[in-house]
Amino acid sequence: MEKMIFGRYIPGNSFVHKLDPRSKLLFVFAFIIVVFFANNTLTYGILLAFTLIVILLSKIRLYFLINGLKPVIFLMLFTLILHLFMTREGPVLVDLGFMKIYEEGLRQGVYISMRFLMLVFMTSILTLTTSPISITDGLEVLLNPFKKIKLPVHELALMMSISLRFIPTLMDETDKIMKAQMARGSDLSAGPIKDRLKAVVPLLVPLFISAFKRAEDLATAMEVRGYRGGEGRTKYRLLKWHAKDTIILVALVIMAILLWMLRG
């Protein structure tokens, strides 16, 4: 259950772990844009070196990063193959008779998969080194300016925290209901899709009713304790902006300028 609350977060004490969630969020958003600046070997090299430095600073075991690649590995291979066979520019490298691989195709394929790899690593590092709750706290502060256009920032952050808190509770609940229905002898094993969907009803109805009852109880409890919206509310977890937060953002800006000047 512990795993469910923290998600992909791996507690640690590295440089990246200790950064403020706000700076990490800003960094990753900016990085997603900066990645598209690179378009030749030199600029891709710089990006890759930069990514490697961040990986080293985060002290995340490579296993976890590779794990994060799993869902996108298909997309990366697809991209590589697509470019390998579809781009027809430059000298021919391999001639298979029925198919030719061109130099430009190989180059583009490798560049685009590298871009993808770096994006996945950077975004994974964000969630591997920052707990969902601190990301929520960071988002609340970063989105504050949007309150002016009536975006309910405080409410969203609060709902995120509550939702995160109830993940293990509702999972337990679902498990319990499932076992209770099995104990009553409900037949859930086989049949066509229609029968199986019917069998879900006795699982879902109690789940919904109990979740909504829980919601009402929680709302009452909050109001009794004087919850009245975000205005003037103080925080239990305080965020602190250190010099290193400024440093990584400056480093990213410098790299972005460098890439912009060196791109072909």
Residues in region 205-234 near other proteins by CB under 8 A: 205, 207-209, 211-212, 214-216, 218-220, 222-223, 227-232
- Kindly state the number of chain residues that form the binding site for other proteins, as judged by CB under 8 A: 83
Does residue 132 touch other proteins according to CB under 8 A? yes
Among residues 22, 27, 124, 255, the one that binds other proteins under rule CB under 8 A: 124
Residue 44 CB contacts under 8 Å (≥ 6 apart), including other chains: 38, 111, 114, 115
Least CB distance from residue 114 to other proteins, whole Å? 12
Least CB distance from residue 43 to other proteins, whole Å? 15
Residues between 59 and 98 with contacts to other proteins, criterion CB under 8 A: 68, 71-72, 75, 78-79, 82-83, 86-87
Residues between 31 and 60 with contacts to other proteins, criterion CB under 8 A: none
Least CB distance from residue 94 to other proteins, whole Å? 18
Does residue 8 touch other proteins according to CB under 8 A? yes
Among residues 60, 114, 135, 252, the one that binds other proteins under rule CB under 8 A: 135
x/- contact string, 170-199, with other proteins (CB under 8 A)? Answer: xx--xx--x---------xxx--xx-xx-x
Least CB distance from residue 263 to other proteins, whole Å? 15
